[in-house]
Amino acid sequence: MNSKKAWQQLVTRPSKEFPRIFLPPKIDFSKWLNLAPYADDLVNRSLETLPALRKWMLEVTEFQNVCFEEESRLYVDMTCNTRDKTKSRAYAGFAKNIKPRLLSVQNKIDKKIHTHPLKNKISRKKYGKWLGSLKNQLTLFSEKNLSINTEISELDQLYQKVCGAMTVKWKGKAKTVVQMNVILEKKNREERESAWRKTWERYIKDRAQLDTIFDKLRNKRSQVAKNLKLKDYREYCFKQYERTDYTVKDCHVFHDTVETVIAPLYRKMLDYKREQLGLTCLRPWDTACDPQGRSGLQPFRGQNELISGVGRIFKKMDPELHKYFMIMRRKQLLDLENRYGKSPGGYQIMFDEVRLPFIFMNAVNSNKDVFVLLHESGHAFHQFLSRDFDFSYNREPPMEFCEVASMSMERMGMKYLNEFYNEKDVARSTAVAADDIFRLFIWIAIVDSFQHWIYTHPGHTRTQRNAKWLEIHERFHTGINWSGLHNYRKTSWHRQLHIFLYPFYYIEYGIAQIGALQMWQQHQKNSKMALNRYKKALASGNTLSLKGLFTKAGLKFDFTPKTVGPLAEALYDEWLQCRDS
């Protein structure tokens, strides 16, 4: 790996693989005046023939790709170092000065194609799904919302800056809140409790500011829906995410299934842990530690070991996927280690013009980090397998299926955990992974239920919001004892960045996990067949509906106990087999 060059030097534009046909090689994106002539041309051009229309559509795609990639590059730079004022200003400047104008231009372009007399003569097979989406997106545009969306973006950035600056003093050293998670895996209970309390006290220190940020976000998002004459922001999000294959009612079915199928099994798992630890009750700082009192798994040391180990997993799994991972490694498209000033969380983002993915995460040498890299790599493989569609819409599949790609990769990658562990630790990691999935299902139901309430009760107070959080948290109870911890628990939702940054984007993980567990079962029976189905579904990009993509991968699209029950039982059985290792 070439450590002397940064990804910005290795991933240059314009792309040699996908050369520009419309825009010049160099553009200064800091001023709208530099983009305006090209935008005006696309909006005002006369399109009298079908060939002219097709050529114009490809040029529109190029214009979007180049602009989207600029935003993505600025976002990566900002999140990798939130303390760098120059990078923060650059991203904020694009969000404030460029993006609103791009959205306005996009709306004019959408109207132009939607009303064009030759629209129905272009290929339905290639563009039909996009044309349906176009009609929906036109109903979601309002000039009034452009400035509001800019303000929302600024608040999102502020949340990331506040969280990225959080540190906890631990044994004389400053640690990020992500690094404190490792201490929760230690066998010393007093140490775990101290780490847990210190971490949440750090969040409480910024509680007022985080509440203020969220109050503003809620109000502005509610205004976005009001400006479009929609019932509430939930209706806006369902339309924006184009959730045509499931409804609000289906989300409630998912919540009920988690409550009746997942939660009881997870309570059994936690009860086993409580017995093994010799405790009368489990406290929040007891859930991440090993039931046999061992220190947390530490499968690697540093980013390079993590990359090398996961690379070996992909080499064993599939030569094509390994090739894609090595491209990211060679081009430095992996920023994995946690550090002060780095935005929290993890993501995979696409550079649309060069059509290459970038992976961002906060690794702290833990077992979880291996699974996060497998997860984000699944997203990246999705991008690689669908990158040859010349029309960008066809490269942007439904979010729910994007998460099937990533979560399935976690499950399939587990077959090769011996790249990091001996046989005993493989079993231990497998048990931890099962525990994590059960816990995630419950957390998804809690977060999604909470967001449904938030945006259907836009006038709520902070006290009411926290009370509702506690009520929902208790509905999906797992037997953990929270007595005396009310002050921490009532705003524990502050740590979930999706609630701040990506409203209603969380149920996707639950839907995808249902698909991923089915893919895991296929992979156990016939790994080659499962991988072929997986790759064919990913290569379909956005040319099929969500249900169509599930079908392509050989998966059932169903949130009821009929489908989820057997999957949960199979996962529970795997945990039983591995728990005592």
pLDDT tens figures, 530-576? 999 999 999 999 999 999 999 999 999 999 999 999 999 999 999 99
User: What's the gap between Cα 304 and its chain centre?
Assistant: 23
CA–CA distances in Å: residue 141 to residues 105, 146, 230: 11, 9, 12
Q: Are residues 253 and 105 in the same domain?
A: no
Asked if 329 and 311 touch (Cβ cutoff 8 Å), the reply is yes
Tokens of 430: 């497998």
Same domain? For 145 and 282 the reply is: no
Task: Give the tens place of pLDDT for each residue, 184-220.
Answer: 999 899 999 999 999 999 999 999 999 999 999 999 9
Confirm whether 507 is domain-assigned: yes
64 lies in a domain? Answer: yes
**Gap between the Cα atoms of 443 and 328, Å rounded:** 31
What per-residue confidence (pLDDT) applies to 1?
Answer: 43
Share of the chain above pLDDT 70, in %: 99
Q: Cα(90)–Cα(29) distance, rounded to whole angstroms?
A: 10
Task: Determine, yes or no, domain membership for 360.
Answer: no
The model's confidence at residue 287, banded by pLDDT at 50, 70 and 90, is: very high
CATH number at residue 514: 1.10.1370.30
Q: State which of 98, 122, 155 marks the end of a domain.
A: 155
Q: Which residues pair with 173 in a beta bridge?
A: 170
Are 378 and 513 a contacting pair, CB within 8 Å? no
Instruction: Indicate the residue among 129, 155, 181 that finishes a domain.
Output: 155
Task: Determine, yes or no, domain membership for 283.
Answer: yes
Structural domain span for residue 39: 15-155
Look up residue 483 and give its DSSP letter: T
Contact 34, 28 (CB under 8 A): yes
**Domain shared by 469 and 579, yes or no:** yes
- For 274, the 3-state DSSP assignment is helix
* 45 domain residue, yes or no: yes
Our count of domains for the chain comes to 2
Structural domain contains residue 568: yes
Per-residue tokens: 58: 């490809």
Q: Clarify whether residues 428 and 563 are in a common domain.
A: yes
User: What's the pLDDT at 127?
Assistant: 85
Rounded to two decimals, what is the model's pTM?
0.90
Q: Is residue 204 part of a domain?
A: no
- Same domain for 446 and 580? yes
* Assigned domain for 545 exists: yes
Q: Is residue 146 domain-shared with residue 271, that is, in the same domain?
A: no
Shared domain check, 570 and 454: yes
What's the pLDDT tens digit per position in 210-252? 999 999 999 999 999 999 999 999 999 999 999 999 999 999 9
**HSE toward the beta carbon, residue 534, CA cutoff 13 A:** 34
Structure tokens at 468: 């509702």
Q: Considering 155, 184, 205, which residue would you say is the last residue of a domain? A: 155
